Structure 1
């Protein structure tokens, strides 16, 4: 059987990802083509930057 300590965080991440994708899609559909493209590109461009910032912070605190 799957461990709940592994399964619950995984399900939470899956639901959060789906919520972000659906919300961005709905917002882009309502905003128009140019602003919609910016809205949809934001999660893609913000992800690597957030990961790098977290990596730099963890190195500076250790």
Structure 2
């Protein structure tokens, strides 16, 4: 869960500074990559919980 929160916070920081024109466009690419990691970690956590408690 900590990794998902880390991805979310880093993505938010990148997006904030990119939209304020403080950093270059490459940080928007980094934002997209971090969102992909976030989705992966959330999917991983959800699958793990389902496999631990099959109903």
Per the normalisation by structure 1, the TM-score is: 0.45
TM superposition outliers: structure 1 runs of 4+ over 3 Å = none
Unaligned runs of 5+ in 1: 34-62
Per chain length, whose mean CA-contact separation is higher, i.e. which structure has more relative contact order (CA < 8 Å, sep 6+)? 2
Task: Give the root-mean-square deviation of aligned CA atoms.
Answer: 1.0
Count of aligned pairs between the two proteins? 31
Other-structure match for 1:12:
34
1:20-46, CA deviations, whole angstroms, 9 ceiling, x for partnerless residues? 00110011010122xxxxxxxxxxxxx
Structure 2 unaligned spans of 5+: 1-24
